[in-house]
Structure 1
């Protein structure tokens, strides 16, 4: 965990470039020029949903090109198995449990009513219900203004910032332009688009309030790419931070007709949904368009590109094999993500890294790359520049997750620690633990908790200490719960 700088010092920071802890004149030149930042976050994209990550069904030539030109991480993790918590972690470098955003945020059309006090709830769900064993913490409805986002951290360093696509961190008063971004194109409280076709409207949900219709039928991912490319062209003369957070490949499953027709006749594997395949390829084409603009403007050499996802692939539309399960689950299929980082002159092309990294790491990494100081608060992530430059290891020993909620019929509240090859899942209802050796059992088929009780105790002690450190809100027994009669 990193913590430094007073708040006053942070707000007055001029953003002078810092000397990075690695050698190489190309790297130093890149930092002195203040690299542009392109951060591409795909919604619900699974670990194997690209050719360079093992898919033989999805055609992703631009994602694959990015991997050839940069570093691909094999053990990259989202900070949560669902979207809003991961997005908050990306923006702040802080664990969702510390932020109080531990589940996806309900939009207003889904019942996310903003109280008159404009204070996030500190209550519990399921109070008064005798059929639920645990009372679970009520999730936040927005990310607090007191949090410092990447856009706010980079502003003193002279960066212009733009959010394009899905935000899902609160309604109007907490939109991206209220959280430090200079431009907001498409960001609102929606966790999914009403429709992928202009005018992006669905009865009961309405339209995307920050993306005016412009051409009937225009595909949303294409529109996002066009807006991103326009922003780059308009701000090519100064350092920029572009956060391209696609609504795709989240439901509703809707595709461009030309790509759908292609996948209808494509040989399938364990991945076989033609609509989803078309959506993945549309994201790939969007990436290609933005990368081409960087090339055309001769900005590629001085642009740090990060490509990743916010949680595991949704079971049904895709398959995360060889990983177990998918979005929402504590298994690898729910939290392990594709991650590719390209930075010419700094990152070796075609390299791979198997060190576990997480969404919380992007904030300190980008701050270090740009010379922006860290804010006056605990930052849970660690800069991964030593990995990108292959100049040294990370200092931390473990990663953590906390999901104190129910999800569907088969996910009960849980917390996780991954330390080295070992992963411990702690459940707050039913069986207490599952322990997996990820080095020898990537698919998490063999629970070893019964064979290694001392290791379970050690990891649980560390997990409980972390939960206390970050002030995690915990589920608690429901005093009204009545177990169903047996037999």
Structure 2
């Protein structure tokens, strides 16, 4: 009974929010869409690998063509200050699935094919939470949270898995298929890099078509544009940015195929679609890496280019189109957002670091004040509060006003020593609050 009451309260809050959104919009009554909040909306979360802040047209790239993602941004929300969970693969994915900073799960390092660790069964994933509300769940693509049987997706709330269990530059390179309650099987022990995006897209479209009659959560995690790059014949040599541009344009095509499948199933008004990246571009790969645009540095660092990533969201009929959200947000926020929209209970036995983004998505204003913390492995290297970012380096603390200096070129620490002291104190207090943490997994 208490769980039912909580879900009813969540639903009532969201209905009130939606009503306020549409009543406050300008225009005649005929211009205003009807309030239509599905009881259990579908969620499609598309994650690129090593995509940079400056790689999409809707983030000012003038060379690579991304019409489907640009349309998503026009039809929904484009986040300007959205952050990955870490500057590298494994911890960022852990942050998304658990809604927690990776240091809480111990998944702070990149896992490899010889790793013995992975996502513990003590962690609760968003897939498991959505299963309590009757969702069909699938993970398609890169997993990278442990390749051994106890750590694979079908052991952590996903009904179905198809993909490579780690990065596409790791060996043995295999595609696994697994279903809940069954053992994983190898379906391809020599997959071609050029086929991965197409194969994942076909699996995603099939899942949508097969589950059109019930709520579903699709986690589509592409291996691209992580090196080695691969694009199918239909896209190879077609962009103005070499093989990297070919790969991004095929990813955009993939998004278009997923959106078309949702439309074909009659689910556009019942499906929330998110596209983002696990971290910034791998700049040391030169032409095989992406662009951080105006941001400093890239993958592997907690400078903005390593952790600030594109994020566009669409939910036709519910999210007002053409929004640009400048409030700092992070990948772990999708856990409580999806759970709340689904009417599911959030775990009460652990700390969640993400917050519900519904007010931003629905155009209802801002989130409660908070700070965002940026770890590199187990090291807390930066904290952002409002427009200010404190970067803690071996040579001292640096302070940047990101609204005026998103490229982190002008250190303001000498001008605002009290603010530096305050943010440093807040960072230290957060570390104390974390308490005893699990041993880093490798």
Q: TM-score, normalised by structure 1?
A: 0.79
Corresponding residue of 2:381: 415
State the alpha-carbon separation in 1 of the partners of residues 392 and 438 from structure 2. 12
> Which structure shows the bigger proportion of residues in helix conformation?
2
CA distance in 2, matches of 1:374, 1:40: 23
Alpha-carbon displacement from aligned partner over 1:426-460 (angstroms, at most 9, x marks no partner): 13xx3121211112111111222233221111000
Which protein shows a greater Rg?
A: 1
Residues in 1 aligned to 2:11 and 2:301: alpha-carbon distance in whole angstroms: 40
Q: Which residue of 1 aligns with 2:187?
A: 212
1:58 match: 64
Aligned to 1:22: 17
* 1:385 equivalenced with 2:358 (yes/no): yes
Q: Secondary structure at the residue paired with 1:382?
A: coil
Is structure 2 residue 158 aligned with structure 1 residue 185?
A: no
Residues 403 and 415 in structure 1, CA contact (< 8 A), matched pair in contact too:
yes
Aligned position for 1:342: 314
CA deviations over 1:255-312 (Å, ceiling 9, x no partner): 234423223xx3xxxxx4x111111111111111111011111111110111111101
CA distance 1:228–1:215, change in 2 (3 Å): farther
Alignment-derived partner of residue 281 in structure 2? 313
Q: 1: distance between equivalents of 2:419 and 2:145? A: 37
Checking the alignment, whether the CA contact within 8 Å between 1:330 and 1:414 is kept in structure 2 is no
| Mapped contact 1:63–1:287 kept (Cα < 8 A) | yes
* Runs of 4+ deviating beyond 6 Å: 12-17
Give the distance between the partners of 2:271 and 2:246, measured in 1 at CA: 28
Distance change in 2, residues 1:216/1:448 (3 Å)? closer
Deviation of 1:396 (Å): 2.9
C-alpha distance after superposition, 1:396-421 (max 9, x if no partner)? 3211112246xxxxxxx552100111
- C-alpha change, 1:70 and 1:330, in structure 2 (3 Å) is same
CA, structure 1 residues 352+55, in 2 after alignment: closer, same or farther (shift >3 Å)? Answer: same
Pairing 1:84–2:90 present: yes
For residue 405 of structure 2, the aligned residue among 441, 444, 467 is 441
**Secondary structure at the counterpart of residue 58 of structure 2:** helix
**Kindly tell me: are residues 398 and 84 of structure 1, through their superposed partners in 2, closer, same or farther at Cα, counting changes over 3 Å?**
same
**C-alpha contact (below 8 Å) 1:165/1:244 kept by paired residues:** yes
Q: 1:330 aligns with which of 298, 302, 317?
A: 302
Alignment match of 2:102 (pick from 62, 74, 96): 96
Query: Is the contact made by 1:51 and 1:60 (CA closer than 8 Å) also made in structure 2?
Result: yes
CA RMSD for the aligned pairs? 2.5
Matched with 1:352 is 324
